[in-house]
Structure 1
């Protein structure tokens, strides 16, 4: 067995109604003045009050900033940091989707690390632990509440970039499925498929191990059986519970085993074409999987089984390919675009996308099959043609 390190947040609080415990958790972290970070849309829904009320009931003064952008650029971080510094906040709370959670993580370390935040891009470049923080996801998808990663848009290079550090793990993560019930179908689909991508990619990653394999497979099972129901019958609390736990488990697996080529190819789509991260990942997953299958046929066959596919009597190779088609069907059923044409990409854009994706070694080196720039361009072209959905 090779040496591996397993990381999770210090404390995980899960279950229906678990948000009610946020006040006591903040006080245990030594809070005397709390900053709640969110976005304007979520603030308007009233969900933010689900966190603010128990915090104030615990006797804590609370200030809310709702200026976090979707798919946030580094400029959004810098602007927020200028508002927060020197105000005496000693615990941050991020409540929202992946963008909110990632910004909360980054602001925490920006309070204790000097210099340009762009200098922190990469692995283990953060010198000092940040302000204590609590993360509360309101979507089931990014898994950001349990990962060491924070992803931002670099508007200069038109590509997504990641900060990776154990200091980005929260002191407390609270995962309450009730907070996801009102998420619209399109967002439920995109975030839910994002969780599925995390599970599949981390399960088949080079850095996968026995711990992450077990966690990722269960995440695949939960998402496969409940995503359609969560999308089209959003008030089905059992489906929402499955998705919340599936996202959490996929995030833990991602945070420890990492991901691969799907994310590498998705980053330029997000940076240049402003495609939401979950949509970009979901759209590319079947095409990258089709390429990766031969790298570990037994594992891909297990993905099919975890998805509930009947593979009895099939050869191992056919069972593995069944996983690819089952994923394509799941993605299609919940309304994910079938082709990168549908998000504004032209054939002329493909070489530049491939050139940009081929630079993302941090992710490509963890992919189960080596990809050249030509391979990456081929995958983009297949996803442009939508071939997998036409078979």
Structure 2
């Protein structure tokens, strides 16, 4: 019998449909949000789905904040919060990737002691920020995590038209976020048969979505559900996540690419310690081995195998290692042997070439 202690996730209402964005007006009314600030990125603000969002929100819009950039700088978060205060907003509608949603969640976090604003999240990517109580921001170049159950969005709108409005090279690569949550969650601390169910179903949906890329609506819908399932369990992740949270802002590489490359490398390193766990991953991805399955998915999605191909300077690896050691060597099912062991993993992540025997 396996012993575990797990608290079910707290999540808001989740609405999924081929044209789910058309229900936004009714959703805002149900939540009694009379004045909202629309939050998005400059590129998303030019998309047709943003026009649909504006039409649906109508006269409830009291402001538009379309300046969100990757990694959610705290300066931008404060600008958003100040706009909400000045305009008397009682909520946010966040349309975009994890940085957009985290910016709205971080703005909520700043006001938790005074005002309880709520957020409706309309994700365009597959990082799962729409259902978690954590907002990852950057403050003076350093990654910071803000966490509180009260910042979980009150509602999530899953409309496949939203990711489909972005270039496919961006949305396809973003699936690596959900894949990384599954691979690390299945070997992470606090896992249980209950959390396994979330991750394994998410992996199956990812595999189905990859197999149906020629049907964009079906693929995007599968990836959206997979991202939510992969983010809900909140199991302690393995070393790859700790590396990515330092590497991505420092090396200025996208989180999804970093998760795909580093996750695959750490997975290869960890494999000897968790053969039973990797057998589950292989089965869910319909592959001979877990690493084969993950590599096949990442290759099909267009994720580079190495950080070098993503434009990362090899000289930055030592800076990443030092930053990780300063905060404490990341935990992993197969322990990492100090700075040398960490640099070896980073070096293979950079080249994309995995050794036969670690």
What TM-score comes out, normalization by structure 2 length?
Answer: 0.91
| Aligned counterpart, 1:27 | 29
Change (3 A) 1:384 1:68: closer
Change (3 A) 1:218 1:20: same
| Aligned counterpart, 1:169 | 152
Does 1:48 pair with 2:47? Answer: no
Change (3 A) 1:181 1:61: closer
Native 8 Å contact 2:39 2:93 kept in 1:
yes
Native 8 Å contact 1:328 1:388 kept in 2:
no
**What is the alpha-carbon root mean square deviation over aligned residues?**
2.3
| Aligned counterpart, 2:295 | 328
| Aligned counterpart, 1:315 | none
Q: How many angstroms does 1:83 deviate by?
A: 2.7
Deviations 1:231-266 (A, max 9, x none): xx3x5221122111111211213xx21422111111
Native 8 Å contact 1:110 1:130 kept in 2:
no
Distance 1:389 1:248 in 2: 33
Q: How many angstroms does 1:174 deviate by?
A: 1.4
Distance 2:188 2:208 in 1: 23
| Aligned counterpart, 1:245 | 225
Native 8 Å contact 2:118 2:151 kept in 1:
no
Structure 1 SS opposite 2:116: coil
Q: How many angstroms does 1:300 deviate by?
A: 0.7
Partner of residue 370 from structure 1, selected from 321, 335, 349: 335
Partner of residue 117 from structure 2, selected from 98, 115, 131: 131
Structure 2 SS opposite 1:337: coil
Does 1:217 pair with 2:184? Answer: no
Distance 1:193 1:15 in 2: 23
| Aligned counterpart, 2:163 | 180
Distance 2:90 2:79 in 1: 19
| Aligned counterpart, 2:255 | 277
Native 8 Å contact 2:246 2:320 kept in 1:
yes
Native 8 Å contact 2:48 2:165 kept in 1:
no
Distance 1:215 1:259 in 2: 14
Deviations 1:358-387 (A, max 9, x none): 3455x934x333333332211011122322
Q: How many angstroms does 1:302 deviate by?
A: 0.7
Partner of residue 149 from structure 1, selected from 116, 127, 134: 134
Q: How many angstroms does 1:216 deviate by?
A: 0.5
Change (3 A) 1:2 1:390: closer
Q: Which shifted more, 141-150 or 367-376?
A: 367-376
Structure 2 SS opposite 1:336: coil
Distance 1:180 1:38 in 2: 13
Distance 1:227 1:164 in 2: 32
Native 8 Å contact 1:90 1:132 kept in 2:
yes
Distance 2:236 2:25 in 1: 32
Change (3 A) 1:19 1:360: farther
Distance 1:221 1:35 in 2: 36
Distance 1:330 1:195 in 2: 12
Native 8 Å contact 1:223 1:246 kept in 2:
yes
Partner of residue 179 from structure 2, selected from 196, 203, 213: 196
Native 8 Å contact 1:192 1:227 kept in 2:
no
| Aligned counterpart, 1:351 | 318
Distance 1:88 1:225 in 2: 44
Structure 2 SS opposite 1:387: coil
| Aligned counterpart, 2:271 | 293
Partner of residue 36 from structure 1, selected from 23, 33, 38: 38
Distance 2:325 2:260 in 1: 19
| Aligned counterpart, 2:72 | 72
Task: Give the number of equivalent residue pairs.
Answer: 354
